[in-house]
Structure 1
């Protein structure tokens, strides 16, 4: 199985070969076009160029440049042993394996970064790669220094934390078996206009203040308890403290932070421990230059100034420290700063975190009741991410990072990984390129260090700027007519002499030499930018730059520009073509290959809605905009994405709250209202059902300024929950009612039918013609019929009948 380093070596080699082939395909030989006159000049042209130091090289060939691609030199008869072709390389000097546990092992053997020492051999323009791994080990010792604002407004907070030590030690004991706690306090500079300076306020600045008539004198910073594992001492010292009072709203907290960071021995920071500095306040801090209001013009020197009473002695002699100085000293001493501030200050201190690496912000309750949960949350947040920083970065070296986090997906341009678990291992690949050669004898090195870690990777750099053949240079060599130095196959002639072997003197011109000074028949001698002397061109000087080449055909100023800057300031001009520095491409080197600016807060490239072109996101998804295409109110998943932020910010629920990433991913302003207006132009209405079957409504609006605003109901809309007994009774009652209704209908139908039949019977009975005593069905056995007759008897007529 091939190692990552082997794969990266192959990638680097392929990159160089591909670039060489591109030049060949264009018909441009960047090596010969530079017309280098020495081996060292050849090496600086391009990392694919080689130099032939063979004495008789070039005989019988039209092209005699000793600087060319290595394969071309060999084809033209240069033996491999005479070819100078140094390449960039990397070697690992120390590679101690990563540790898996902290306090349970020998503490001074804990290793969280691998390798620890690397040596690079760099040829200008050439790239080399190396990989490093970082792991946050389990059960690592923790030092927490609690730095508290003791101005008058923090009195209720002081009462709350009087038993903080015991509770905090109990909670931290679940995370580490080696925990220490310390305490310090601050107010502000005891001078006008920051504090009350009248004599009556010197001993008691609260004099005349009815609510709290007794206070201690104002002080800048006071170190009270060094880091200790005896947490009862913390409780004892806190219970002794009293608040003080200053005049203006801002506090002198940055003075205190700097002293807590640089006074390592007094505070008791351990080398083998995580250093957490908890800064608790309810107001904004004074910044650098604020001290000039009190006449303090001396910038802070970044040193420890604690007197024998453990109080900050330079409070009234030096200005407040700058953010840059704070960040430098915190990083230098491996300290994670936790801003524990009230909700109204969250945005202000959040902006500070962008300028101070390794800093987090947590929202503190008005009376500090949630301080323990806050510290635990901040600790988990700190240990869930790894971010690299580079120290003492040489200006002529270009670095490019690619992070591989837990999902195994390479993220070019990224120097950090988030959402990690303790014990996870992340990897980074680092590409290194030297843009130029430093002065001879200059040692170069730099350090790669995870923020807040004591562990670091030391990188030493050796430059391949000299040729091996230069060590065999011959002064006044016979090859150079005894008037020049023979070096790497060429003669460096004494002033006034020219020619391949110093055989000519300056000023000698003849027609036989002129043809050798034309690039082609019909072209100008020396391209019109030089004069021919002893069969070679002497190029004119130009106020714009250098003119060079065998026929003065090249210069270092006729390259494409961007906004008036040659090669955009990100490359070197070589014979009309920009040779871009690492990390830039394009004809004028204006296109950055860096993608870190395109990575959104969720770790996706352009939020998954676009592509990164020249270091900027080009949004593809309709309706998407923003620096990383993160804003898209019409995208199908906009409501779903903002729902997670509503849940974690307003209700401390959802998967973002569990992963401690709410503050990182959810930066939109959230406004809570009693009644939600849905008719605002451009606002998108979003609804979702909560776990308790309530309906949460909010609107999502993107302003023209790019600011996103979420307007949400304070509480979800919930209907009254149904009574199970009432529902049961209603169902049973409904069934009974339907049954009774069906029976009544059936009874009605039967009754109507019977009545109709009875009426029909009565009608038939009334029409009957017989007596009730006789049987209408009985018939007599003898029937009688009356027959009428008409006859004449004795002259008379009779009518009669026969029965």
Structure 2
């Protein structure tokens, strides 16, 4: 049944153990570093710290810490029965099983949360877990109180709900067999500026209003019908109601909600039922501080103020309630508030639901025609979710929730499940941690309850802040020289006495005598790492190592480290200084004096290209690398070094032609090729002249395996000397040939130029002839004129012309 809580609890225990081991592995012992002087102080350092109350524990020159991890104390000789190590625990006091149905005559026995009572014993800083289950049972009783706005704008809504009771009872009967219905109404405070206060409006605020001339006097809240299963009574009372009228747009609905919530006896809320409060309005509410507009400066006291007429009597005496007060009273009385508002107000009231737990909002039609379906929908929404709240939460206790809903997947940080069906069971795991210890004798408790449920889980809290050995403290104990109290292995001396066994008087430990515990004037007593007891230093014990010396000035753990290892593992720490083993030097003994690893194959130190530092070669020649700087493709003498290997390996000649010497020094791979590839960027081309004036070529490159690769021609390149006469004739012929070519080119350029000039001349001459033939000023050398004459011949007259 408690599997979720069990595995979470085990996980928490494992986390504490893992944290303890981690701190120990890192050498960080927070228990000893805290320098606790009493068992209670030790327990407050960390939940993994324990105290050894054994009398003879840690006697001697070293002041042994009694506060440490439990396993460390046992290793150092503390018997298990003397170790004070309290842990957090859980005790289940009442665990009645969950109910399946809510109908029947034993409604008070219906259980919807399990367990009902537990007791926690908490050690500060120690996290523990417990689980709880919640189930919404079927056929659970329902009390519904309908709170309606009866301002003038709601007149058509009042006409609609006159027969609401019968229809609502029929629909709710499908969900529960035990349903009760009540009714109340509200308008606003009957005072200026919220309502009309002139004498003519006192009896009839609608006086002079033509559309609705008759209204009842303005009122704040009026309780009309207590919760009853006689739905006909609801219809009768609603039919008697008349609307009223206020002056400003906001209504006094929050006054009415608070009174409906806190006046439990008058309203008739049952403890064993779901409490639904339906709030129907078509406008926004007045909020806290709005009452100051009418001179109301007294905050609402959250109490019931119904007079003998069941009307809110403090309407004109106190301010409107705040959202916080409203949410507190609704949750305190397990009331689900349903805002039934028009569409234009939906966003405003939706924002209110985020501030008031257990509240929903639904859209109401202008004339409330959908009010029944609205209530059914809101009821189903309420029954489809479970949300936990915490009451009377102590400030020094932190809580965190993990919800496990219907899908079975844990949801850390959530205390709510939604989309549930009636009868579904959900689980919650609650992490509890006490941050501190309250004053002695303080009883702490808190309550966890689902929103709107009467069921709750009551949690009593006890703190593990005291040690069991403190209950048997011995006053004037002989262990403490009869002048102190022996408590948990230590002596608490009377005033005027000091020492581990109260063996010294205060005068003996004066400043003059305390100087015996100082290494020099101005330094700390016992170097700050011990206590001066009876003129001698008792050094503290450290998890890191041993503290010693007449003034606790020495230790074996404060020396230099290399890669986290004290003195590099090649020396011993003595009073803060590394004493290196043979063959090592340096402040942290990380430097080896051996040079054998720096000798290269040719017998040189680092191949002559570097220095041997701390047993390793540091190459100084650019481009050199390798354990002994033996690899250096770009070094000036690389070709010369590899030439000797080519000679001895391929031609059995040269300085190291001796077979043993050649094999020892020339371990590179040598291959012979017909043609060298010189396009390899990682290869160096080498060549040298042989004794017979031939040229030997080879390439040198480093392989990924670390060996060098030498690629050499199969045979040196040899050739005869050139003929001097041939060379001379070739040079002279070349010069003549170049001269002839230049003359030919010059002649060709001149010819082309002349031809271009002649063509240009011809073109100019043709153009001149054409222009002369078409000149309008030019005249022919021969001209013709006509002359007219008249003469008479034979009596006839003739007219003629002469050219």
- With the shorter chain as reference, the TM-score category is 0.5 to 0.7
Residue 242 (structure 1) shift:
0.6
Which is worse superposed, 588-597 or 166-175?
588-597
Residue 354 (structure 1) shift:
1.2
Structure 1 residues 27 and 547, CA gap change in structure 2 (3 angstroms): closer
Which is worse superposed, 497-506 or 143-152?
497-506
Residue 504 (structure 1) shift:
2.3
Partner SS for 1:779: coil
1:184-209, CA deviations, whole angstroms, 9 ceiling, x for partnerless residues? 00000001111000000000000011
The question of whether the paired residues in 2 share the 8 Å contact of 1:377 and 1:660 is answered with no
Structure 1 residues 422 and 254, CA gap change in structure 2 (3 angstroms): same
Which is worse superposed, 552-561 or 488-497?
552-561
Q: Is 1:687 paired with 2:687?
A: yes
Distance 2:601 2:172 in 1: 29
The question of whether the paired residues in 2 share the 8 Å contact of 1:61 and 1:76 is answered with no
Structure 1 residues 460 and 276, CA gap change in structure 2 (3 angstroms): same
Partner SS for 1:767: helix
The question of whether the paired residues in 1 share the 8 Å contact of 2:88 and 2:464 is answered with yes
Partner SS for 2:754: helix
Partner of 1:543: 543
The question of whether the paired residues in 1 share the 8 Å contact of 2:595 and 2:612 is answered with yes
Partner SS for 2:445: strand
The question of whether the paired residues in 2 share the 8 Å contact of 1:433 and 1:582 is answered with no
Structure 1 residues 684 and 170, CA gap change in structure 2 (3 angstroms): farther
Residue 303 (structure 1) shift:
0.9
1:456-495, CA deviations, whole angstroms, 9 ceiling, x for partnerless residues? 0000011111111111111121211222111010001122
1:368-411, CA deviations, whole angstroms, 9 ceiling, x for partnerless residues? 11111111110000000000000000111111110000000000
Residue 8 (structure 1) shift:
2.7
Which is worse superposed, 25-34 or 179-188?
25-34
Distance 2:651 2:349 in 1: 22
Distance 1:651 1:164 in 2: 120
Distance 1:409 1:658 in 2: 81
Alignment: residue pair count:
803
Structure 1 residues 239 and 706, CA gap change in structure 2 (3 angstroms): farther
The question of whether the paired residues in 1 share the 8 Å contact of 2:65 and 2:541 is answered with no
Structure 1 residues 721 and 527, CA gap change in structure 2 (3 angstroms): same
Q: Which runs of 5+ in 2 are unaligned?
A: none
The question of whether the paired residues in 2 share the 8 Å contact of 1:507 and 1:533 is answered with no
Residue 352 (structure 1) shift:
0.9
Which is worse superposed, 604-613 or 204-213?
604-613
Partner SS for 1:617: strand
The question of whether the paired residues in 1 share the 8 Å contact of 2:2 and 2:131 is answered with no
Residue 655 (structure 1) shift:
95
Residue 603 (structure 1) shift:
75
Higher Cα Rg: structure 1 or 2? 2
The question of whether the paired residues in 2 share the 8 Å contact of 1:34 and 1:548 is answered with no
Structure 1 residues 110 and 718, CA gap change in structure 2 (3 angstroms): farther
Distance 2:158 2:689 in 1: 41
Structure 1 residues 489 and 693, CA gap change in structure 2 (3 angstroms): farther
Distance 1:299 1:212 in 2: 35
The question of whether the paired residues in 2 share the 8 Å contact of 1:33 and 1:554 is answered with no
Which is worse superposed, 20-29 or 751-760?
751-760
The question of whether the paired residues in 2 share the 8 Å contact of 1:513 and 1:533 is answered with no
Which is worse superposed, 511-520 or 332-341?
511-520
Distance 1:364 1:710 in 2: 95
Structure 1 residues 611 and 52, CA gap change in structure 2 (3 angstroms): farther
Partner SS for 1:507: helix
Which is worse superposed, 671-680 or 207-216?
671-680
The question of whether the paired residues in 1 share the 8 Å contact of 2:63 and 2:539 is answered with no
Which is worse superposed, 490-499 or 307-316?
490-499
Structure 1 residues 783 and 735, CA gap change in structure 2 (3 angstroms): farther
Structure 1 residues 297 and 545, CA gap change in structure 2 (3 angstroms): farther
The question of whether the paired residues in 2 share the 8 Å contact of 1:206 and 1:214 is answered with yes
Partner of 1:790: 790
Q: Under a length normalisation based on structure 2, what TM-score does the superposition of the two structures give?
A: 0.66
The question of whether the paired residues in 2 share the 8 Å contact of 1:483 and 1:493 is answered with yes
Partner SS for 2:751: helix
Partner SS for 1:225: strand
1:551-594, CA deviations, whole angstroms, 9 ceiling, x for partnerless residues? 99999999999999999999999999999999999999999999
Structure 1 residues 638 and 746, CA gap change in structure 2 (3 angstroms): closer
Which is worse superposed, 4-13 or 653-662?
653-662
The question of whether the paired residues in 1 share the 8 Å contact of 2:63 and 2:541 is answered with no
Q: Which runs of 5+ in 1 are unaligned?
A: none
The question of whether the paired residues in 2 share the 8 Å contact of 1:34 and 1:574 is answered with no
Partner SS for 2:719: coil
Residue 4 (structure 1) shift:
3.2
Which is worse superposed, 505-514 or 515-524?
515-524
Structure 1 residues 554 and 770, CA gap change in structure 2 (3 angstroms): closer
Which is worse superposed, 464-473 or 612-621?
612-621
Distance 1:325 1:661 in 2: 101
Partner of 1:366: 366
The question of whether the paired residues in 2 share the 8 Å contact of 1:770 and 1:776 is answered with no
Which is worse superposed, 507-516 or 412-421?
507-516
Residue 308 (structure 1) shift:
0.8
Partner SS for 1:740: helix
Structure 1 residues 772 and 324, CA gap change in structure 2 (3 angstroms): closer
Q: Under a length normalisation based on structure 1, what TM-score does the superposition of the two structures give?
A: 0.66
Residue 25 (structure 1) shift:
2.4
Structure 1 residues 741 and 617, CA gap change in structure 2 (3 angstroms): closer
Distance 1:681 1:800 in 2: 115
Partner SS for 1:645: helix
The question of whether the paired residues in 1 share the 8 Å contact of 2:531 and 2:538 is answered with yes
Residue 129 (structure 1) shift:
1.1
Which is worse superposed, 139-148 or 503-512?
503-512
Structure 1 residues 496 and 215, CA gap change in structure 2 (3 angstroms): same
| 1:718-757 correspondence to structure 2 within 5 Å | none
Structure 1 residues 645 and 252, CA gap change in structure 2 (3 angstroms): farther
| 1:522-541 correspondence to structure 2 within 5 Å | 525=525, 532=532, 534=534
The question of whether the paired residues in 2 share the 8 Å contact of 1:548 and 1:555 is answered with yes
Residue 350 (structure 1) shift:
1.0
Structure 1 residues 644 and 797, CA gap change in structure 2 (3 angstroms): farther
Distance 1:717 1:217 in 2: 129
- What value does the CA root-mean-square deviation take over the aligned residues? 32.2
Structure 1 residues 740 and 668, CA gap change in structure 2 (3 angstroms): closer
Residue 22 (structure 1) shift:
2.1
Residue 449 (structure 1) shift:
0.3
Which is worse superposed, 774-783 or 16-25?
774-783
Partner SS for 2:197: coil
| 1:413-432 correspondence to structure 2 within 5 Å | 413-432=413-432
